[in-house]
Amino acid sequence: MCEKRNLLIEQMGSAITTLFPENFHFDIHKPLVGSHDPKISEPGHRLAVSQMRARLGDSKVLATHRDFDLVRFLKARNFNIEETVSMYEQMLGYRKRYRVDEPNFIRDFEPLEVFVKCYPNGVLGTDRQGYPVVYDLPGSVDVRGFSQAMSDEELCGQLMWSLENLERVMEQMSEARASLVDKWTVVIDVQYLGWEHLSTSQLARGRKVQQLFDVCYPERMHKLLFVNISRCFHIGFQLFRPFIPQATRDKELSIHSGTGRVDDKGDPKCSQWINYGCKVPQSLYKSNILADISRSWSKVQLAPGKVHRVSLEAMAGDVLSYSFYTDSGHVHFGICLERAEDTEGVTEPVWVKHMARCNSELQLVQDSVEVDQQGKYCLVFDNKTSWTFSKSLTLTFNCNTISTQ
Protein backbone atom coordinates (compact mmCIF):
# COMPACT_ATOMS: atom_id res chain seq x y z
CA MET A 1 0.00 0.00 0.00
CA CYS A 2 1.43 3.37 -0.97
CA GLU A 3 2.60 5.92 1.61
CA LYS A 4 -0.05 8.50 0.67
CA ARG A 5 -2.85 5.96 1.05
CA ASN A 6 -1.42 4.91 4.43
CA LEU A 7 -1.45 8.55 5.55
CA LEU A 8 -5.05 9.07 4.50
CA ILE A 9 -6.23 5.86 6.18
CA GLU A 10 -4.32 6.85 9.31
CA GLN A 11 -6.15 10.19 9.32
CA MET A 12 -9.46 8.38 8.89
CA GLY A 13 -8.62 5.66 11.40
CA SER A 14 -9.28 7.38 14.73
CA ALA A 15 -12.53 8.84 13.40
CA ILE A 16 -13.75 5.52 11.99
CA THR A 17 -13.13 3.67 15.24
CA THR A 18 -15.64 5.97 16.94
CA LEU A 19 -18.36 4.59 14.66
CA PHE A 20 -18.17 0.98 15.83
CA PRO A 21 -18.88 -0.95 19.02
CA GLU A 22 -15.88 -1.72 21.21
CA ASN A 23 -13.60 -4.55 20.00
CA PHE A 24 -15.06 -4.50 16.45
CA HIS A 25 -12.41 -4.66 13.74
CA PHE A 26 -13.07 -2.54 10.66
CA ASP A 27 -11.52 -3.81 7.41
CA ILE A 28 -11.32 -1.04 4.82
CA HIS A 29 -10.48 -3.58 2.09
CA LYS A 30 -13.44 -5.85 2.69
CA PRO A 31 -15.54 -5.78 -0.50
CA LEU A 32 -19.15 -4.70 -0.57
CA VAL A 33 -21.47 -7.71 -0.60
CA GLY A 34 -24.90 -6.19 0.00
CA SER A 35 -25.54 -8.40 3.03
CA HIS A 36 -28.42 -6.30 4.42
CA ASP A 37 -31.49 -6.41 2.20
CA PRO A 38 -34.56 -4.93 3.90
CA LYS A 39 -37.81 -6.11 2.43
CA ILE A 40 -39.75 -3.69 0.27
CA SER A 41 -43.16 -3.41 1.86
CA GLU A 42 -44.98 -1.21 -0.64
CA PRO A 43 -46.37 -3.09 -3.69
CA GLY A 44 -45.89 -0.04 -5.91
CA HIS A 45 -42.17 0.01 -5.09
CA ARG A 46 -41.80 -3.70 -5.90
CA LEU A 47 -43.50 -3.18 -9.27
CA ALA A 48 -41.25 -0.19 -10.08
CA VAL A 49 -38.12 -2.21 -9.20
CA SER A 50 -39.28 -5.06 -11.48
CA GLN A 51 -39.85 -2.61 -14.34
CA MET A 52 -36.46 -1.00 -13.76
CA ARG A 53 -34.68 -4.36 -13.77
CA ALA A 54 -36.52 -5.37 -16.95
CA ARG A 55 -35.44 -2.17 -18.71
CA LEU A 56 -31.81 -2.40 -17.60
CA GLY A 57 -31.33 -6.15 -17.86
CA ASP A 58 -29.73 -8.18 -15.09
CA SER A 59 -26.26 -7.78 -16.62
CA LYS A 60 -26.30 -4.02 -16.00
CA VAL A 61 -27.52 -4.04 -12.40
CA LEU A 62 -24.60 -4.12 -9.97
CA ALA A 63 -24.38 -7.27 -7.89
CA THR A 64 -24.16 -5.18 -4.72
CA HIS A 65 -27.35 -3.30 -5.54
CA ARG A 66 -30.30 -4.99 -3.87
CA ASP A 67 -33.92 -4.12 -4.59
CA PHE A 68 -33.78 -1.79 -1.60
CA ASP A 69 -30.89 0.10 -3.27
CA LEU A 70 -32.75 0.39 -6.56
CA VAL A 71 -35.61 2.06 -4.71
CA ARG A 72 -33.14 4.85 -3.78
CA PHE A 73 -32.62 5.56 -7.48
CA LEU A 74 -36.37 5.46 -8.13
CA LYS A 75 -37.09 7.87 -5.28
CA ALA A 76 -34.48 10.30 -6.61
CA ARG A 77 -36.39 10.47 -9.91
CA ASN A 78 -39.91 10.34 -8.44
CA PHE A 79 -40.39 6.75 -9.70
CA ASN A 80 -40.17 7.84 -13.34
CA ILE A 81 -38.81 4.65 -14.94
CA GLU A 82 -37.31 6.36 -18.01
CA GLU A 83 -35.46 8.97 -15.96
CA THR A 84 -34.34 6.40 -13.39
CA VAL A 85 -32.91 4.07 -16.05
CA SER A 86 -31.07 7.02 -17.64
CA MET A 87 -29.72 8.02 -14.22
CA TYR A 88 -28.58 4.47 -13.45
CA GLU A 89 -26.75 4.25 -16.79
CA GLN A 90 -25.04 7.58 -15.98
CA MET A 91 -23.97 6.08 -12.65
CA LEU A 92 -22.51 3.06 -14.45
CA GLY A 93 -20.63 5.47 -16.71
CA TYR A 94 -19.09 7.24 -13.71
CA ARG A 95 -18.07 3.94 -12.15
CA LYS A 96 -16.47 2.78 -15.40
CA ARG A 97 -14.64 6.09 -15.86
CA TYR A 98 -13.12 5.93 -12.38
CA ARG A 99 -12.70 2.11 -12.41
CA VAL A 100 -14.67 1.75 -9.21
CA ASP A 101 -15.78 -1.82 -9.92
CA GLU A 102 -12.30 -3.21 -10.53
CA PRO A 103 -11.54 -5.98 -7.98
CA ASN A 104 -8.79 -4.09 -6.12
CA PHE A 105 -10.04 -0.52 -6.59
CA ILE A 106 -9.82 0.41 -2.91
CA ARG A 107 -6.46 -1.31 -2.38
CA ASP A 108 -4.75 -0.08 -5.55
CA PHE A 109 -6.12 3.46 -5.76
CA GLU A 110 -3.41 6.09 -5.30
CA PRO A 111 -4.84 9.26 -3.72
CA LEU A 112 -3.14 12.46 -4.76
CA GLU A 113 -0.86 14.00 -2.15
CA VAL A 114 -2.63 17.34 -2.49
CA PHE A 115 -5.94 15.67 -1.60
CA VAL A 116 -4.49 13.80 1.37
CA LYS A 117 -2.68 16.75 2.91
CA CYS A 118 -4.60 19.83 1.83
CA TYR A 119 -8.27 18.96 1.24
CA PRO A 120 -10.30 19.92 4.35
CA ASN A 121 -12.78 17.25 5.45
CA GLY A 122 -13.23 14.42 7.91
CA VAL A 123 -15.56 11.91 9.58
CA LEU A 124 -16.98 13.11 12.90
CA GLY A 125 -18.58 10.13 14.65
CA THR A 126 -22.31 9.52 14.23
CA ASP A 127 -25.49 11.52 14.60
CA ARG A 128 -28.36 10.65 16.97
CA GLN A 129 -29.77 8.14 14.51
CA GLY A 130 -26.41 6.37 14.23
CA TYR A 131 -25.49 7.62 10.76
CA PRO A 132 -21.86 8.63 10.02
CA VAL A 133 -21.25 12.38 10.02
CA VAL A 134 -19.12 13.74 7.16
CA TYR A 135 -17.58 17.14 7.92
CA ASP A 136 -16.61 19.42 5.00
CA LEU A 137 -14.95 22.86 5.11
CA PRO A 138 -15.19 24.53 1.68
CA GLY A 139 -14.11 27.89 3.09
CA SER A 140 -10.71 26.43 4.02
CA VAL A 141 -9.96 25.28 0.46
CA ASP A 142 -6.95 26.96 -1.17
CA VAL A 143 -8.83 27.78 -4.38
CA ARG A 144 -5.88 28.86 -6.47
CA GLY A 145 -3.69 26.03 -5.23
CA PHE A 146 -6.26 23.34 -6.00
CA SER A 147 -6.95 24.87 -9.41
CA GLN A 148 -3.26 24.47 -10.23
CA ALA A 149 -2.75 21.07 -8.57
CA MET A 150 -5.92 19.08 -9.35
CA SER A 151 -8.34 18.93 -12.27
CA ASP A 152 -12.11 18.56 -11.86
CA GLU A 153 -11.85 14.95 -13.06
CA GLU A 154 -9.19 14.15 -10.49
CA LEU A 155 -11.21 15.75 -7.69
CA CYS A 156 -14.28 13.68 -8.63
CA GLY A 157 -12.14 10.54 -8.68
CA GLN A 158 -10.68 11.27 -5.23
CA LEU A 159 -14.12 11.99 -3.77
CA MET A 160 -15.59 8.85 -5.30
CA TRP A 161 -12.83 6.75 -3.72
CA SER A 162 -13.60 8.37 -0.34
CA LEU A 163 -17.32 7.70 -0.72
CA GLU A 164 -16.72 4.09 -1.68
CA ASN A 165 -14.72 3.76 1.54
CA LEU A 166 -17.67 5.27 3.41
CA GLU A 167 -20.00 2.74 1.77
CA ARG A 168 -17.84 -0.03 3.24
CA VAL A 169 -17.91 1.68 6.61
CA MET A 170 -21.72 1.76 6.57
CA GLU A 171 -22.05 -1.87 5.52
CA GLN A 172 -19.74 -3.05 8.29
CA MET A 173 -21.53 -0.77 10.76
CA SER A 174 -24.74 -2.55 9.74
CA GLU A 175 -23.09 -5.90 10.47
CA ALA A 176 -21.74 -4.74 13.83
CA ARG A 177 -25.06 -3.27 14.99
CA ALA A 178 -27.35 -5.81 13.31
CA SER A 179 -29.37 -2.93 11.89
CA LEU A 180 -29.26 -1.12 8.57
CA VAL A 181 -26.99 1.94 8.28
CA ASP A 182 -27.56 3.23 4.76
CA LYS A 183 -27.26 7.03 5.02
CA TRP A 184 -24.85 9.71 6.13
CA THR A 185 -25.23 13.20 7.54
CA VAL A 186 -23.21 15.99 5.94
CA VAL A 187 -22.08 19.01 7.96
CA ILE A 188 -20.70 21.90 5.89
CA ASP A 189 -18.70 24.45 7.85
CA VAL A 190 -18.83 27.64 5.77
CA GLN A 191 -16.58 29.72 8.03
CA TYR A 192 -13.96 31.60 5.98
CA LEU A 193 -16.04 31.17 2.81
CA GLY A 194 -15.09 34.12 0.60
CA TRP A 195 -15.83 35.48 -2.84
CA GLU A 196 -12.93 33.52 -4.34
CA HIS A 197 -14.86 30.34 -3.46
CA LEU A 198 -17.88 31.65 -5.38
CA SER A 199 -16.16 32.39 -8.67
CA THR A 200 -17.61 31.06 -11.91
CA SER A 201 -14.98 28.33 -12.16
CA GLN A 202 -15.54 27.20 -8.56
CA LEU A 203 -19.32 27.12 -8.93
CA ALA A 204 -18.87 25.05 -12.10
CA ARG A 205 -16.60 22.65 -10.19
CA GLY A 206 -19.15 22.44 -7.40
CA ARG A 207 -21.90 21.57 -9.86
CA LYS A 208 -19.82 18.69 -11.24
CA VAL A 209 -19.29 17.31 -7.74
CA GLN A 210 -22.97 17.77 -6.92
CA GLN A 211 -23.96 15.89 -10.09
CA LEU A 212 -21.66 13.00 -9.15
CA PHE A 213 -23.27 12.77 -5.68
CA ASP A 214 -26.76 13.03 -7.14
CA VAL A 215 -26.24 10.34 -9.78
CA CYS A 216 -24.00 7.85 -7.97
CA TYR A 217 -25.21 8.09 -4.37
CA PRO A 218 -28.91 9.05 -4.45
CA GLU A 219 -30.90 9.20 -1.23
CA ARG A 220 -27.76 8.56 0.83
CA MET A 221 -27.97 11.89 2.62
CA HIS A 222 -29.89 11.85 5.88
CA LYS A 223 -29.43 15.54 6.73
CA LEU A 224 -27.46 18.46 5.29
CA LEU A 225 -26.34 20.90 8.00
CA PHE A 226 -24.62 24.27 7.58
CA VAL A 227 -22.62 25.76 10.45
CA ASN A 228 -20.93 29.14 10.95
CA ILE A 229 -22.98 30.71 8.16
CA SER A 230 -22.30 34.25 6.95
CA ARG A 231 -23.76 36.82 4.58
CA CYS A 232 -21.34 35.70 1.86
CA PHE A 233 -22.65 32.15 2.21
CA HIS A 234 -26.28 33.26 1.88
CA ILE A 235 -25.52 35.05 -1.39
CA GLY A 236 -23.41 32.22 -2.80
CA PHE A 237 -25.88 29.52 -1.81
CA GLN A 238 -28.67 31.25 -3.70
CA LEU A 239 -26.50 31.02 -6.83
CA PHE A 240 -25.86 27.30 -6.30
CA ARG A 241 -29.26 26.29 -4.90
CA PRO A 242 -31.05 25.86 -8.28
CA PHE A 243 -28.66 23.03 -9.16
CA ILE A 244 -29.44 21.05 -5.99
CA PRO A 245 -32.20 18.41 -6.31
CA GLN A 246 -35.39 19.18 -4.40
CA ALA A 247 -34.99 16.04 -2.27
CA THR A 248 -31.64 17.38 -1.03
CA ARG A 249 -33.03 20.86 -0.39
CA ASP A 250 -35.67 19.33 1.87
CA LYS A 251 -32.89 18.02 4.11
CA GLU A 252 -31.19 21.38 4.66
CA LEU A 253 -30.81 22.82 8.14
CA SER A 254 -28.73 25.91 8.92
CA ILE A 255 -26.93 26.25 12.25
CA HIS A 256 -25.09 29.41 13.30
CA SER A 257 -22.47 27.90 15.60
CA GLY A 258 -20.80 24.62 16.49
CA THR A 259 -22.17 21.83 18.67
CA GLY A 260 -19.65 22.04 21.52
CA ARG A 261 -18.14 18.62 20.83
CA VAL A 262 -14.44 17.95 21.52
CA ASP A 263 -12.20 15.10 20.41
CA ASP A 264 -10.35 12.63 22.65
CA LYS A 265 -7.66 15.24 23.31
CA GLY A 266 -10.18 17.91 24.36
CA ASP A 267 -9.74 19.91 21.15
CA PRO A 268 -13.00 21.76 20.29
CA LYS A 269 -11.91 21.80 16.63
CA CYS A 270 -11.78 17.97 16.70
CA SER A 271 -8.49 18.04 14.78
CA GLN A 272 -7.98 14.38 15.65
CA TRP A 273 -10.80 13.49 13.28
CA ILE A 274 -10.94 16.43 10.84
CA ASN A 275 -8.27 17.54 8.38
CA TYR A 276 -8.58 21.33 8.28
CA GLY A 277 -6.55 21.55 5.09
CA CYS A 278 -3.72 23.93 4.28
CA LYS A 279 -2.32 26.10 1.53
CA VAL A 280 -1.26 23.96 -1.43
CA PRO A 281 2.54 24.18 -1.85
CA GLN A 282 3.72 25.04 -5.36
CA SER A 283 5.69 21.79 -5.41
CA LEU A 284 2.32 20.01 -5.82
CA TYR A 285 1.21 22.14 -8.78
CA LYS A 286 0.89 20.20 -12.02
CA SER A 287 3.57 22.42 -13.48
CA ASN A 288 5.67 25.31 -12.27
CA ILE A 289 4.57 27.43 -15.19
CA LEU A 290 3.69 30.40 -12.99
CA ALA A 291 7.22 30.46 -11.59
CA ASP A 292 8.80 30.02 -15.03
CA ILE A 293 6.79 32.66 -16.86
CA SER A 294 7.47 35.31 -14.26
CA ARG A 295 10.94 35.60 -15.78
CA SER A 296 9.94 35.71 -19.46
CA TRP A 297 6.49 37.36 -19.61
CA SER A 298 5.61 41.04 -19.35
CA LYS A 299 4.54 42.51 -16.03
CA VAL A 300 2.22 45.47 -15.66
CA GLN A 301 0.92 47.22 -12.55
CA LEU A 302 -2.80 47.90 -12.93
CA ALA A 303 -3.65 50.98 -10.89
CA PRO A 304 -7.03 51.19 -9.12
CA GLY A 305 -9.82 52.05 -11.54
CA LYS A 306 -7.53 52.08 -14.57
CA VAL A 307 -7.42 50.24 -17.91
CA HIS A 308 -4.38 48.72 -19.61
CA ARG A 309 -4.40 48.27 -23.40
CA VAL A 310 -2.07 46.27 -25.62
CA SER A 311 -2.26 46.83 -29.40
CA LEU A 312 -1.04 44.60 -32.22
CA GLU A 313 -1.56 44.40 -35.98
CA ALA A 314 -3.22 41.35 -37.51
CA MET A 315 -4.31 40.15 -40.95
CA ALA A 316 -7.59 38.45 -41.74
CA GLY A 317 -7.34 34.79 -40.68
CA ASP A 318 -4.64 35.40 -38.07
CA VAL A 319 -4.98 33.93 -34.59
CA LEU A 320 -4.44 36.12 -31.53
CA SER A 321 -3.20 34.06 -28.58
CA TYR A 322 -2.95 35.34 -25.03
CA SER A 323 -2.19 34.15 -21.51
CA PHE A 324 -2.28 36.12 -18.27
CA TYR A 325 -2.81 35.98 -14.53
CA THR A 326 -2.94 38.42 -11.62
CA ASP A 327 -1.36 38.12 -8.21
CA SER A 328 -4.60 39.03 -6.44
CA GLY A 329 -8.09 39.97 -7.51
CA HIS A 330 -9.89 39.49 -10.81
CA VAL A 331 -9.85 41.70 -13.91
CA HIS A 332 -12.24 42.24 -16.79
CA PHE A 333 -10.79 41.34 -20.18
CA GLY A 334 -11.82 41.75 -23.83
CA ILE A 335 -10.45 42.10 -27.37
CA CYS A 336 -11.61 44.72 -29.84
CA LEU A 337 -10.80 45.91 -33.36
CA GLU A 338 -9.98 49.60 -33.31
CA ARG A 339 -11.77 51.62 -35.99
CA ALA A 340 -11.16 55.06 -37.43
CA GLU A 341 -13.07 57.98 -35.98
CA ASP A 342 -16.49 58.58 -37.44
CA THR A 343 -17.77 61.97 -38.67
CA GLU A 344 -18.41 63.14 -35.11
CA GLY A 345 -14.92 62.22 -33.93
CA VAL A 346 -16.02 59.22 -31.89
CA THR A 347 -14.20 55.92 -32.15
CA GLU A 348 -16.50 52.90 -31.89
CA PRO A 349 -14.58 49.63 -31.43
CA VAL A 350 -15.79 46.29 -32.74
CA TRP A 351 -15.58 43.70 -29.98
CA VAL A 352 -14.11 40.38 -31.05
CA LYS A 353 -14.26 39.11 -27.47
CA HIS A 354 -16.64 41.09 -25.25
CA MET A 355 -15.47 42.34 -21.88
CA ALA A 356 -16.03 39.75 -19.16
CA ARG A 357 -14.77 39.05 -15.67
CA CYS A 358 -11.81 36.65 -15.53
CA ASN A 359 -10.86 34.95 -12.26
CA SER A 360 -7.21 35.42 -13.11
CA GLU A 361 -6.13 35.36 -9.48
CA LEU A 362 -7.24 31.72 -9.24
CA GLN A 363 -5.87 30.24 -12.43
CA LEU A 364 -3.95 31.03 -15.58
CA VAL A 365 -6.24 32.44 -18.28
CA GLN A 366 -5.32 31.09 -21.73
CA ASP A 367 -7.21 31.28 -25.01
CA SER A 368 -6.98 32.32 -28.67
CA VAL A 369 -9.23 34.13 -31.13
CA GLU A 370 -9.23 33.97 -34.94
CA VAL A 371 -9.87 37.36 -36.54
CA ASP A 372 -11.62 37.89 -39.87
CA GLN A 373 -10.53 41.47 -40.61
CA GLN A 374 -7.20 43.20 -41.10
CA GLY A 375 -6.43 45.96 -38.65
CA LYS A 376 -5.18 46.96 -35.22
CA TYR A 377 -6.52 44.85 -32.39
CA CYS A 378 -6.48 45.84 -28.75
CA LEU A 379 -6.31 43.57 -25.70
CA VAL A 380 -8.11 45.41 -22.88
CA PHE A 381 -7.47 44.72 -19.19
CA ASP A 382 -9.93 46.64 -17.02
CA ASN A 383 -9.46 47.26 -13.29
CA LYS A 384 -12.31 49.77 -12.98
CA THR A 385 -14.25 47.58 -10.54
CA SER A 386 -11.46 48.01 -7.99
CA TRP A 387 -11.16 51.56 -6.67
CA THR A 388 -8.77 50.85 -3.81
CA PHE A 389 -6.38 48.05 -4.87
CA SER A 390 -3.81 47.85 -7.62
CA LYS A 391 -3.06 44.49 -9.23
CA SER A 392 0.07 42.98 -10.71
CA LEU A 393 -0.72 41.62 -14.18
CA THR A 394 1.62 39.10 -15.84
CA LEU A 395 0.89 38.46 -19.51
CA THR A 396 2.07 37.30 -22.89
CA PHE A 397 0.45 37.49 -26.33
CA ASN A 398 1.26 36.89 -29.99
CA CYS A 399 -0.27 36.87 -33.44
CA ASN A 400 0.05 33.67 -35.46
CA THR A 401 -0.59 33.35 -39.17
CA ILE A 402 -2.34 30.07 -40.05
CA SER A 403 -0.90 28.44 -43.15
CA THR A 404 -3.43 27.66 -45.88
CA GLN A 405 -1.28 25.02 -47.48
Neighbours of 103 (CB within 10 A): 8
Tell me the three-class secondary structure of 49-107, residue by residue.
Answer: HHHHHHHHCCCCCCCCCCHHHHHHHHHHCCCCHHHHHHHHHHHHHHHHHCCCCCCCHHH
CA distance linking residue 37 with residue 52, whole number of Å? 18
- Residue 295 binned pLDDT confidence (cut-offs 50, 70, 90): low
In the 8-state DSSP scheme, what is residue 280?
P
Give the pTM.
0.67
pLDDT in tens, 346-375: 567 889 999 988 878 767 788 888 898 899
- What is the structure's pLDDT at 160? 92
Assess whether pLDDT exceeds 50 at residue 1: no
Asked if the model's pLDDT at residue 15 lies above 70, the reply is no
pLDDT at 58: 80
pLDDT at 13: 47
Per-residue DSSP letter, 120: -
The residue-averaged pLDDT of 101-110 equals 86
Q: How far apart are CA 391 and CA 306, in angstroms?
A: 10
The mean of the pLDDT values for the chain is 80
